[in-house]
Amino acid sequence: GQNIDQPTEMTATEGAIVQINCTYQTSGFNGLFWYQQHAGEAPTFLSYNVLDGLEEKGRFSSFLSRSKGYSYLLLKELQMKDSASYLCAVRVPFNAGNNRKLIWGLGTSLAVNP
Amino acid sequence: DAGITQSPRHKVTETGTPVTLRCHQTENHRYMYWYRQDPGHGLRLIHYSYGVKDTDKGEVSDGYSVSRSKTEDFLLTLESATSSQTSVYFCAISESEVTQYFGPGTRLLVL
């Protein structure tokens, strides 16, 4: 089966650092994505990891370990506007041929408090 | 994103009626997707397209059909709406079939 696990909720303080974990068990792996989704809005792309290691992009970093089926999203210098849901998604083979699809986690709702 | 629009943004309809949602892009991306997002389920792929007139089923395609007659438009039709199809529908586009970018969504309520 295909399964992605992330914590349901997290809270953190403005200016702090928070790490959101994602573990996955999938049939095949072609990369892992993190998206941010504010309430009532569309998901927006944050990061893509296909090789092991850390990818840094400003205040946001994403880490991948394929052997452990594990990723995390690290948010530094938290701001109030970072209060949102963070979605982990794994790209997997789908149907015949070279088709791929995303399997989505349920998201981690992050509340940043002053 | 400004390059993707969805219409309508909100719709209320009655059980048994057909409904068509439109996704329009100005990015000339080859790949387009329709998802639904429901509490407790996350995002689920309904149908996708890899070019004009080239479409395929996703994981929850029953009760839905799609058409793509132009690169910029991808239509999702609920043939006979049911209350279980009450959801938020997102369209997404991708240039390379890797990173997907989402439209603003359509909130559909089927009474």
Asked if A48 lies within 8 A of B98 by C-beta distance, the reply is yes
Tens of pLDDT, residues B29-41: 999 999 999 998 9
Kind of pairing, strands A44-49 and B64-70? unpaired
Find the residue in B nearest to A101 (Cα). B45
Asked if B41 lies within 8 A of A106 by C-beta distance, the reply is yes
Q: What is the C-alpha R_g of chain B?
A: 13
Token pair in block for residue A43: 């998901």
8 A C-beta contact, residue A52 and residue A66: yes
pLDDT for the residue A95? 75
Amino acid of residue B62: D
Phi, psi of B71 (to 5 degrees): -55, -40
8 A C-beta contact, residue A100 and residue A93: yes
Mean pLDDT along residues A66-86: 97
Amino acid of residue B19: V
Beta strand extents in chain B (DSSP E only): 4-7, 10-13, 19-25, 31-38, 42-51, 54-57, 64-70, 73-78, 87-94, 101-102, 106-110
Token pair in block for residue A9: 């909720």
Asked if A89 lies within 8 A of B43 by C-beta distance, the reply is yes
* Residue A106 Cα, gap to closest chain B Cα (Å): 5
Asked if B99 lies within 8 A of A89 by C-beta distance, the reply is no
Of the candidates A31, A91, A105, the beta carbon closest to that of B42 is on: A105
Whether B2 shows a pLDDT value over 70: the answer reads: no
Q: What is the mean pLDDT of chain A?
A: 95
pLDDT tier for residue A2 given thresholds of 50, 70 and 90:
confident
Tens of pLDDT, residues A12-53: 999 999 999 999 999 899 999 999 999 999 999 999 999 999
Whether A1 shows a pLDDT value over 80: the answer reads: no
